[in-house]
Chains A and B, each alone.
Chain A
Amino acid sequence: MSDVVLKVEDLETGYGEVQILWGVSLEAKKGKLTTIIGSNGSGKTTLLRAITGVVPVWKGRVLFKGEDITHLPAHRRADMGLVMVPEGRMLFPEMTVYENLEMGAYTKRARAKLKESLDFVLNLFPRLKERLNQKAGTMSGGEQQMVALGRGLMACPELLILDEPSLGLAPKLVLDVFSVIKKLKDEGITMLLVEQNVHISLMITDWAYVMAEGRIVMEGSGEELEKSEEVKKAYLGV
C-alpha cells in the first residue's frame, strides 16, 4: 500500500448524458514514472480531470496517499500535493515568469519551501533566470512549457501529473521536454504522464497503461508494450 501514491478504482464519469470513462483502474507508484497512452478521444484528458477534481466522478474511487479524495474539491487535492501541469500549459499570461512560479507555490506546504524550490527550478531551467520579469504570455511555446513545468515543481508535488507536455512543440523542444522528465525521474519525483509521443514515452517510463474508448486495454512495462504487436500497429505506425 505504502508505495502506491495514486490509486484509481473502477472510475466512471462523463459529461451530461455522455459517459466517457467505463471503469478505469490504475496505480502510480512512489518514485516511478507511470504513463498513459492512447489515441485522441480515448478518455485520457477526462481521466486526468476526474483525478484532479475538475470533473465530478460518477462511480468508483480515487485514492491519494491512501486517502479517499473522490469528492474533494480540486484546490484541496492540490493542497495534498496532487499537482497538475495542464495541457496547453495554462500559464497566467499577464503575470511575470516569477509570479507564475510563485503561484505554483501557493499552497501552505509549498510556500514554506519557496526559496529551495525556486533554486531547484532555476537550476533545471537556467534560461528562465534572465526571464523572471518577463510576462509569461509573451514567451515562445517552448519557454512557456518550461514555466509550466517549473510552476508544477514549485508546488512540491507528491505526484506530478503531466498532460501532453510535448504537444505543439518543435521536435527539438520535444526532446528537451523528455530529457527534463528523465531528469525528474532520476530525482525520484513521482509522475503520471499522458502523452501522444508513444515511442519516447515508452522508452523512459517504468510502467504504462494503454487507453481506448474509455477503458484500460493493456498495461505493462515500457519495454513490453513497445514490443507488443497491438501497440505497434495502433500507435507506432509500424
Chain B
Amino acid sequence: MEAWISAVLSGILLGLAYGLAAIGLNLIWGVMNVINLSHGAFIALGMFASYFIFKFAGISPFISVFLVLAVGVVLGMIAYFLALHRVILAPELSTLLATYSLSLIIIGLGTFFFTTNPRAIDVGLGSVKVFGAYIPKEKILVGIYSLIFTLLLYLFLYKTWTGKAIRAVSMNITAAKFMGVNTTFILSLAFGIGIALAMVAGALIASVFPFTILTGGVYELKSFVICVLGGLGSPLGALVGGLIMGLLENVLTLKIQVGYVPFLEFLILVIILLVKPTGIMGKE
C-alpha cells in the first residue's frame, strides 16, 4: 500500500516538473510555430547550471533556480538571434534544422567539457511521511516550485502588457504589428521564456535524479508526448499531460520493468494521435 501511495505522490510531483518543461516547448510552438529540438539540450544545461552552483557555491538548487530562470531567458534570446531569427519566416524544416543544430552544438560542447559521467545533486533534505509513505522533501519542493512557475507564467501571459503581446503574436503576427507590437522582440522573448522553463525544469529534476549531458533528450521526448497528450498550443493541457505522464511512469514501474515504460509512453502517443489528434484539451 505504501508503495502505491509513494508512486502516486511521486508521479504527481514529478509530473508537474515534466509539465513545466512541456509548457516551454508548447509556448515556443504556439507563438513561433517552431518545434524546438534543442529543448532537451537546454534541460540538461539547466541541470548542469544547478549542479555547478551547488558544488562550487554551496547554494541550494531551490534558491539558484531563480538565477537559472533569468539566465535561461537571456540565453534563449541570444539563441533566437543566432539560430532562428533569419529563418523564422522560412518553412518549418528550416527552423527544425536550426534548433537541431543548436542542440548538437550544446550537447557536443557539453560532452567535451562535462564528459558523460553521471552526476547528482544531493541536497539532503530528508523525507516526510505522507499516509505512511516516505517522500523525499526534494520531490515535494520540485512539485511546489513547478506549480508556482506555471502560475507565474499564467499571470505574466494574461495580466501584463508584454504577456498579452506574446499571446497576440501567437494569434496573428501581422495584426500585432499593426497594434505597435515589436514582434521581433516578442518572438525572441517567447523563445527565451520557453528555454528558461526548460532549464528551470532541468534544474528542479536534477535535485531528484542523477543526470548527464545526454539526459535532456529523455525529457525532451517526454515533453513531446506530453504536448501531444494535452494538445499543442494549450499550456494548461501541457500541465495535465505532465501529470498523466508522471503518474504512468511511477505507477507502471510497480508492476513492469522500467525498460518498458518508454515503449508504453510512445504507445499512448500513437493512440492519442490516432484517436484524438488535437490532444485531450486541444482545440480543432
Contacts and interface: CB of A to CB of B under 8 A. Distances in A.
Interface string A70-81: 000111001100
A151 B178 CA distance: 10
A34 interface: no
Contacts, number: 63
B171 A52 contact: no
Interface in A30-78: 52-54, 73-75, 78
A125 interface: no
Interface in B157-203: 161, 164-165, 167-168, 171-172, 174-183
Contacts of A74: 177-178
A54 B164 contact: no
Max chain B C-beta neighbours (<10 A), residue from A74, A107, A110: A74
Interface stretch (A8-16, A83-91, A212-220): A83-91
A90 B172 contact: yes
Contact of A94 (B161, B171, B174): B171
A166 B182 CA distance: 29
Contacts of A86: 174-175, 178
A75 B175 contact: no
A93 B171 contact: yes
Q: Is the interface of B mostly helix, strand, loop or mixed?
A: helix
Contacts of A78: 177-180
Contact of B164 (A73, A102, A110): A102
B179 to A, nearest CB: 5
Contacts of B167: 92, 94-95
B171 A92 contact: yes
A75 B165 contact: no
B168 A95 contact: yes
B47 to A, nearest CB: 34
B168 A155 contact: no
B180 A92 contact: no
A155 B178 CA distance: 10
Contact of A155 (B161, B176, B179): B179
Given A92-B168, A94-B167, A95-B168, A106 B180 contact: yes
A79 B182 CA distance: 10
A150 interface: no
A146 to B, nearest CB: 16
B148 to A, nearest CB: 25
Max chain B C-beta neighbours (<10 A), residue from A90, A102, A107: A90
B171 A106 contact: no
A93 B176 CA distance: 12
A93 B171 CA distance: 7
Interface of B: 161, 164-165, 167-168, 171-172, 174-183
Query: 10 tightest CB-CB pairs across the interface, nearest first?
Result: A78-B180, A90-B175, A107-B180, A74-B177, A92-B171, A84-B178, A106-B179, A75-B182, A75-B180, A106-B180
Interface of A: 52-54, 73-75, 78-79, 83-84, 86, 90-95, 99, 102-104, 106-107, 110-111, 151, 155
Given A54-B177, A74-B177, A79-B180, 4 more contacts: A90-B172, A92-B172, A95-B168, A151-B179
9 contacts: A83-B178, A90-B172, A91-B172, A93-B171, A95-B168, A95-B171, A102-B164, A103-B168, A107-B179
